[in-house]
Amino acid sequence: MPANGTAGLARSAVSGISRLPSPPARTIARTFLRGRAGRGMVLMSATVTPDTPLVECPSRALRPHPPRRWSRVLPHHRSARRRLVALACLLALLVVPGGAPSQAGPGDPPVPDDDTFVGAGGYTYPRPTNAAKVFRWGSETWRDEFEVGGALRPQWRVNRPRRVREQQGQITMNAQAHTGTVSVTATDTAAAYGRWETRVRGKRYDRGTPYRFFWELVPVQPTGCPGGSDQRIVIASWAQDDARAVGGIGVDADTAFTFGADLDLRIGYFHTYAIEIAPDHVSWFVDTKVVHTERRPEALTGVVYRPRLRMQAVRGATMARSRMQADWVRHYSLDRPGALPVTAPAMTRTDLAPLC
């Protein structure tokens, strides 16, 4: 074996200063890619890393194709296929697995972070989670997970029973062009204070006037307009084509405190909406984030509410076939203080035209 530092030559054949220190060892090994050494297979070698996978290539794919008659007139599908197989084998040798993922360029969809993901159409959506988990509200005092299947529990008051059912762990409300308004109201729970939250979506399936979707709290004993329309708390209201979900606290027939948040609602993806009603404030949450907090005494009504989901039709219009689904509805008490502050911009006091 030649002496170290002679570059592989016998020391007698080396003139001048020997190659010391010796050159570094090879960091990339020359490895044979083994296939089945049987009929129709060849062994290919290349300078690769130890993690490079073995590649089998048919020997006929790498064999030069002999000239044929009509080769310049008629295409030869077999010859083209062999060229493609050979090209694929050569490209496989150049791929080094385990590389870092590429970053999105200026025209690419946004790279998602821990709180979002890129869904249909390239839009960025929040991951499905709830404010109760983030703010640590504790265990629910009331909930419905809609896991029975079929008809709703009798504790829900439904105005159109044939249009509402439980399926796949969700409450599903369907409406056609002339169905009219569809609503479901829980009758076995009510509270003046606490936290209400649901994970809900609305989607339309054809053209026509869009239904408007509502997740709201309605008074148990209205003292103003019929049905308590002036005292509702609309936790979220939107139509599928909207770019913003809105809501409001009804104080009386002339006044409300309104709020809203920009959301991409075109795809009909699920969002979570929550509200915290305390003796000294009302806070509104969208997708686990507190968006508005109102502390003015005028907005703190002390009314006892129960939850309702509603698809609102426009009287006399041909509506678009639509669906509203809620994954669950939950209520939490105020016994456990929130783990995070609810500091946020105040809501907007709005003077309304008389509702009744």
* DSSP, res 208: S
Record the tokens describing residue 283, joined without a space: 């806070």
Rounded Cα distance, 214 and 62, in Å? 66
Phi and psi of 276, rounded to 5°?
-115, 120
Q: Are the C-beta atoms of residues 245 and 265 closer than 8 Å to each other?
A: yes
pLDDT > 90 fraction of the chain, expressed in percent and rounded: 50
Q: What is the pLDDT of residues 37-95, one digit of tens each?
A: 444 444 344 444 444 444 444 444 444 445 444 444 444 455 666 676 666 665 655 54
What pTM was computed for the model? 0.66
pLDDT for residue 290 is more than 80: yes
d(CA 250, CA 190): 17
What H or E segment, with its residue span, contains residue 271?
strand 271-278
- CATH code: domain 116-351 is 2.60.120.200
Q: Which residues have C-beta within 8 Å of that of residue 126, sequence separation ≥ 6?
A: 115, 116, 271, 287, 288
> Can you give the C-alpha Rg of the chain in angstroms?
34
**Distance (Å, whole) CA 88 – CA 84:** 6
Section 187-213 average pLDDT: 95
Kindly state the tokens that stand for 139: 């265990």
Q: How many C-beta neighbours within 10 Å does residue 129 have?
A: 13
